[in-house]
Amino acid sequence: MKLKQAVTGMAALACMTTAAHAQSAGSFVLSTGWFHLAPQSSSEPLRVTSIGGSPTNITEANTGASLSSADTIGFTLGYFVTDHIAAEFVLGYPPSFDLTGTGSFERFGKLGQAKQWSPTLLFKYFFNAPTAAFRPYLGIGVSRVWFTDAKITNSAFEANVLHGPTSVDTDSSWAPVFNAGFTYAFDQHWFAGVSISYLPLSTTAKLNTAARTPVGTLNVQSQTKIKLNPIVSYVNIGYRF
């Protein structure tokens, strides 16, 4: 009789333990944490496309730029559609990236900066049972990326290379997102997670310069295509509803 009671008690405890870690269909999850964005960047040479309104196609050889890494706080809101499939919306406070010269521009150091916005929709497949504390996953999704507050901050570069005050505009674009990671549940509600994402991403930076020339001020338009291809790591803590 005592053995039967002990077995029954252990079974009940096991049910309570597994239920405490449930990540099942209908669950909402909210998390926040630290994003580290590490662009694997390179760029095409600067190309002058217009001088004084006349189209040109002048390539400045051995010129380029790269982007620095950046850190920011992020937030995610997810919903388990099934016990193994979840949809997740990801948003980070826009980090600021430094644009640094390469090639013949390397001597100028930092050329400018811009803030990046990249809200993302992910679909994740979670392995292991929904009652497991440790659940690795693979994900795929899409991100809408654009930049704000883009500007040239290096006065020597602006005066000696661009030859006048310059404004900067960048393209917005859609980018696929490839994602992998895991979560670990501490109890019925709280969990922690780690993930790595990769975004094959490029943007075109367009420069508009009021260039000072011997014949007066001319509008000069130039551009360069920058490959960012960031690897994004995310360490977070979350709450399950």
Buried residues in 161-181 as b, exposed as e (16+ CB within 10 A)? bbbeebebebeeeebebebeb
- Please tell me the least confidently modeled range out of 20-29, 167-176, 205-214: 20-29
- Please tell me the least confidently modeled range out of 3-12, 28-37, 111-120, 210-219: 3-12
pLDDT at 30: 97
> Stretch 156-178: mean pLDDT, rounded?
94
pLDDT at 23: 76
Identify the burial level of 235 via C-beta atoms within 10 angstroms of its C-beta, where 0-12 means exposed, 13-18 middle and 19 or more buried.
middle
CB-CB neighbours of 5 under 10 Å: 9
Task: Note the pLDDT tens digit of each residue in 71-124.
Answer: 999 999 999 999 999 999 999 999 999 999 999 999 999 999 999 999 999 999
Strand segments (E) across 82-201: 85-92, 96-103, 110-117, 120-126, 134-152, 166-170, 173-185, 190-198
pLDDT(3) > 60: no
pLDDT(11) > 50: no
Q: Which fold has domain 27-240?
A: Porin (2.40.160)
> Stretch 113-142: mean pLDDT, rounded?
96
pLDDT at 212: 87
Whole-Å CA distances, 174 to 75, 87, 121: 20, 18, 11
**Cβ proximity of 95 and 129 under 8 Å:** no
> Stretch 144-159: mean pLDDT, rounded?
94
pLDDT at 19: 45
For residue 95, report the phi and psi dihedrals to the nearest 5 degrees: -75, 155
> Residue 105 is which amino acid?
F
How is the chain split into domains, by residue range?
Answer: 27-240
- Spatial distance between the Cα atoms of 61 and 236, rounded to a whole number of angstroms: 44
Task: Note the pLDDT tens digit of each residue in 35-85.
Answer: 999 999 999 999 999 999 999 999 999 999 999 999 999 999 999 999 999
- Spatial distance between the Cα atoms of 63 and 19, rounded to a whole number of angstroms: 59
- Spatial distance between the Cα atoms of 7 and 61, rounded to a whole number of angstroms: 78
pLDDT(10) > 70: no
pLDDT(18) > 60: no
| Percentage of the chain exceeding pLDDT 90 | 83
